[in-house]
Amino acid sequence: LQVSADMNRERAEKLRTLFLRHIEDSGLSFEWRSLESFSGDSALTGISSVRAADLIIAAQRETGGDSSADVDTLVYDAGRPVLVVPHEGPLITTFKRVLLAWNGSKEAARAAFDALPFIIEAEKTDILVIDPPETLDDSPEAAGAEIAAALSRHGATVSVSVQQSGGSSVDDIIQTRIAETGADLLVLGAYSHSWLRQLLFGGVKRSVLRTAPV
């Protein structure tokens, strides 16, 4: 255990050095905090700190990686927008194509407006609606129209894509749409209620968090 703790401290010091090297001449206000966890959940240890952040940037967990530092904890418990950086592929600093997964929920709305600065700056945002319900007032084809109009009023360039799952999983549809649009940012809401989280943990939210290329 002591060897593991020493290795983690050494890794933290290397990360601090790398962080300072890139941030010191940026003109940004910054602070470095190194936290030690004795509870087995390092992400949960830092929750009180990240709840005061404008944006949380977290690494996607690699296959077989440390589950105690799972990004799921940040996404579901921090209450702040989380930008998950894939562990493979080039590091993208400017998002040109955004894919917004939209189901009309308050979680999706929060995610959309948390990502508004990125959506406005992007060349195009594709709003993906999967299996929209047909109501007396609107046809399924009208799904996504209101959020598209709202984002457009902020100056964003948007389009709406409505798809029926037809037996395919939502995860597969999202992954396919990422490839089709060339999206370099996926915007997705996440439920925070514990029973819904348990329901979704083995589904699309966790799967996308672990495997999405963007």
Of 84-98, 109-123, 128-142, minimum mean pLDDT range: 128-142
Which pLDDT belongs to residue 30? 85
Mean pLDDT for 175-193 is: 87
Query: From the CB of residue 42, how many other CB atoms can be counted at a distance below 10 Å?
Result: 17
* Alpha carbon distance 72, 203 (integer Å): 13
Look at residue 180 and tell me whether its pLDDT is greater than 70: yes
* Alpha carbon distance 59, 66 (integer Å): 11
Going from the C-alpha of 138 to that of each of 66, 94, 135, 141, 143, the distances in angstroms are 46, 36, 5, 8, 8
* Alpha carbon distance 126, 210 (integer Å): 22
- What values do phi and psi take at 126, rounded to 5? -100, 120
For residue 69, name the pLDDT band (cuts at 50, 70, 90): low
Burial 51-76 (b: 16+ CB within 10 A, else e): eeeeebebebbeeeeeeebbbbbbbb
The number of residues making up the chain comes to 214
pTM flag (> 0.85): no
Query: From the CB of residue 142, how many other CB atoms can be counted at a distance below 10 Å?
Result: 15
- The token pair that represents 66 in the structure block: 């440390």
For residue 194, name the pLDDT band (cuts at 50, 70, 90): low
CA angle at 198 for the pair 66 and 130, rounded to the nearest 5°: 105
* Alpha carbon distance 102, 130 (integer Å): 8
- The token pair that represents 135 in the structure block: 């109501």
- The token pair that represents 172 in the structure block: 């597969």
Which pLDDT belongs to residue 48? 82
Residue-range domains of the chain with CATH? 2-85 (no CATH), 97-211 (3.40.50.620)
* Alpha carbon distance 61, 114 (integer Å): 23
Which pLDDT belongs to residue 97? 97
Mean of all residue pLDDT scores within the chain: 81
